[in-house]
Structure 1
Amino acid sequence: MVSIRTHKLKQQIYKVIEVTHHHDRLGKLFDAFMIVLISLNVLAFTFETVDSVSIPHKSYFNDFETISVMIFTLEYGFRVWTCTLNPRYHHPILGRCKFVLSPLSIVDFISILPYYLFLVFPNLVFVRELHLLRLARLFKIGRYSESMRTLGTVISSKREDLFSALFTVFTLLMISSSLMYYAEHAAQPDRYPNIPASMWWGIITLTSVGYGDVAPITAIGRLLGGIIAVLGLGLVALPTGIIASGFAEEVEKKRAHLRRICPHCGEDLDRRRQNRNE
């Protein structure tokens, strides 16, 4: 009897915290609560660097951090406990080991790690560096946000196109930095001392930022700079276009999934009904 009740409880918890689409109100409330909690954690992390806010309210920040870590720890524990209901992690030991080593589980663990390290080792030297690990909580939103899951799907499906685009941008960066080094080194040895240093100019030029701290002064350097700046407008926009098209494809897939399709002819039944009504 106890094992049956425990299994039912396990199934209920799994249904609430599982990352699949929720059709129950409790699951949606849990997702919304976690998104709000993570957002507040990011805000707290930001304002802790403002002395006029963090010093007089340090106890409130500490209490909020403790409560947040307890919630994140419970969530992490429940996920490890219930992950065996997923066929991918069905084995009680090996399945849980596989789940713990999955990317999102590693993010969950890293997000709570600093708190327990400070608890066990209160005199740690690299305190500020460890605090940066708390930003991992921002990546947890991917578990609860449909938009973030869609972005992850788009990047995964378009990874080869994105790699090609980024490689093209990197190739242009290498060529432009090398050419600018040989064009400007004699005139500005302090600004273009070597090719790696010239890459700073290449990056800010290709991204159309142009800080102006490093700029060509020779005729050939300015000619190259103008050409590279124009090329950068198109090449740097390539990854954005790929992701945008991927989003459009993913949205269309979801719409097609929601539409009723005839299993025999593949016709859209909703559109057929609409045409009949017209």
Structure 2
Amino acid sequence: MNSENSLPLKARIFNIIQIGDKSNRISRAFDIFITVVIFSNIVVTFLQTFSELSFLSGFFHVIEAATLCIFCIEYILRIWTADLLYPSRSRLRSRLCFLISFDGIIDFLTILPFFFLSGFVIFRMLRVARIFHLFRLNSRYDSFNVITTVLYEKRNQIISSVFIVMILMLASSLCMYSVEHDAQPDVFRNAFSGIWWSMSTLLTVGYGDIYPITTLGKVMAICIAYLGVGAVAIPTGIISAGFVEQYQRKSGLSNIKNADIKEIAEILADRRYAGKTIEEIETADQLTIFLILRDNLSVLPQKDTVVKLNDILVIRGENGN
């Protein structure tokens, strides 16, 4: 605790609002507090849509204003400490990087609608962006963070599977339009009607508002429905495999103590590594980073974790296996 108190105020605030150190009581209290604030803001946003609760509109407005003030203060503090988040960049560039980052954009969109509620419709619609503030919980809870890590690592495979679904959707819509247009000109009026039907069929939703009535159309619908089952299974399998890989990686960390001490090493992150992600370092140097020691904190590395200057990296070379 003394070493924590000896840190500059800016560094202490950074450790609380940016890193989320579970060993620090203040940091854990802040995590719980901001989680309650986020959920309170979203619950009030939903309750305001009920006309039966109009008599509580004043109370809802107070809660909304209070939570937005907290979001504003946190937003300002995160901008102020952005140079510690991006140590390899200048103060101005580090703050700009935060402003255009995912967290920075979500924070901004969460705050913006409150000041334009009586303005244009587009600003009132931005109230929905508050829901995306829940993604901020990812940085504080490993169980949520695993989901985003898997989706990021498997993004190329997921995009490829979505591209396959789009091709099947376009092909099936044009085929069904060609077969059913003469029999149902009011239902399959154009190719878009076919796209709506193929979407509901390939994704196994089956709304039933549009369906084929010809024999050839029904045969094609059976084939397309089977293709839809396989198309949905492709991204599901990719994501499932990603979860298995991620949990194996986490379990491997607990087995470090059983590894040969000669295979484990510590390196000090200099300017060669500072500012790079774990994935970039592991790929370039063919090593595995198990742990990051940062300002008396132990940080479990993720693929997109950015290494700071003077971090201590606990590693094992690939040839150590």
Using the TM superposition, give the Cα deviation of residue 83 of structure 1 relative to its aligned residue in structure 2, in angstroms: 1.6
Q: Confirm or deny: 8 A CA contact 2:83 2:94 kept in the other structure.
A: yes
| Residue 181 (structure 1) aligned with residue 177 (structure 2) | yes
Where does residue 90 of structure 2 map in the other structure? 91
Of Structure 1 and Structure 2, which has the larger fraction of its residues in strand?
2
| Residue 264 (structure 1) aligned with residue 262 (structure 2) | yes
Q: Confirm or deny: 8 A CA contact 1:38 1:141 kept in the other structure.
A: no
> If the length of structure 2 is used for normalisation, what is the TM-score?
0.75
Letter of the aligned partner of 1:248 in structure 2?
A: V
Moved more, 240-249 or 143-152: 143-152
The partner residue of 1:236 within 213, 232, 238 is 232
Aligned residue pairs, count: 257
Where does residue 119 of structure 2 map in the other structure? 124
> How has the CA–CA distance of structure 1 residues 256 and 20 changed in structure 2, closer, same or farther, with 3 Å as cutoff?
farther
3-state SS of paired residue (1:57): helix
Moved more, 83-92 or 63-72: 83-92
3-state SS of paired residue (1:56): helix
Q: Confirm or deny: 8 A CA contact 1:185 1:192 kept in the other structure.
A: yes
Which stretches of structure 1, 4 residues or more, deviate above 4 A after TM superposition?
none
The percentage of counterpart residues that share the same residue type is 33
Superposition pairs for residues 150-165 of structure 1, below 5 Å?
Answer: 150-165=146-161
CA distance in 2, matches of 1:176, 1:206: 9
CA distance in 1, matches of 2:263, 2:89: 38
CA distance in 2, matches of 1:46, 1:134: 11
Q: Confirm or deny: 8 A CA contact 1:110 1:133 kept in the other structure.
A: yes
> How has the CA–CA distance of structure 1 residues 160 and 73 changed in structure 2, closer, same or farther, with 3 Å as cutoff?
same
Letter of the aligned partner of 2:111 in structure 1?
A: I
Q: Deviations over 1:141-190 (max 9, x none)?
A: 33333223211111111011111111111111111111111110100111
Moved more, 222-231 or 18-27: 18-27
> If the length of structure 1 is used for normalisation, what is the TM-score?
0.85
Letter of the aligned partner of 1:49 in structure 2?
A: T
Of Structure 1 and Structure 2, which has the larger fraction of its residues in helix?
1
